[in-house]
Amino acid sequence: MIQTYGLTHIALAVHDAERSLRFYQQVFGIVEVFREAGFIQAQTPGSRGVMVFEENAARVGKTGGVMHFGFRLVDPADIDAAAAAISSATELILSFS
C-alpha cells in the first residue's frame, strides 16, 4: 500500500468559477491561489486542502462532475510505485467486470 496524507484536492465542474469561489470563500474561508480563464484553484485554511473550480457546464451536477481528485504522497519518490499499484488494481477490478 502506498502511503499518502489522504485526499488533498478535488476539482469540481461548475457553471461559474468566480461565483463558486465566492461561495466557498464565504462559507469556508478558502483562499484563491491560482487563476486562468474558466479555472480557479483555492486552498482551505488550516489543512490546505485544494479545491479547483473548472467551468464545464455539460458536467455540472451529473455523475462525472468531479473533474479529478488527488492524494498527496508521503514520499514523492513513491510516484512510480503508486502508478504501478493503480494500474495493477485497475486491471484486477476490470477482470471482475
- pLDDT tens, per residue, the chain with 97 residues: 788 878 888 889 999 999 999 988 998 889 999 999 999 999 988 877 899 999 998 888 877 767 778 888 889 999 999 888 888 888 777 777 5
Q: Which of 93, 76, 88 minimizes the C-alpha distance to 4? A: 76
Q: What is the model's pTM?
A: 0.68
Res 97: pLDDT: 56
Q: Residue 25: give its domain's CATH number.
A: 3.10.180.10
Residue 83 inside a domain? The answer is no
Determine the Cα–Cα distance for residues 94 and 77; give it in Å rounded to an integer: 27
Q: Is residue 40 part of a domain?
A: yes
- The tally of domains found in the chain comes to 1
- Grid coordinates representing 89 are 488494481
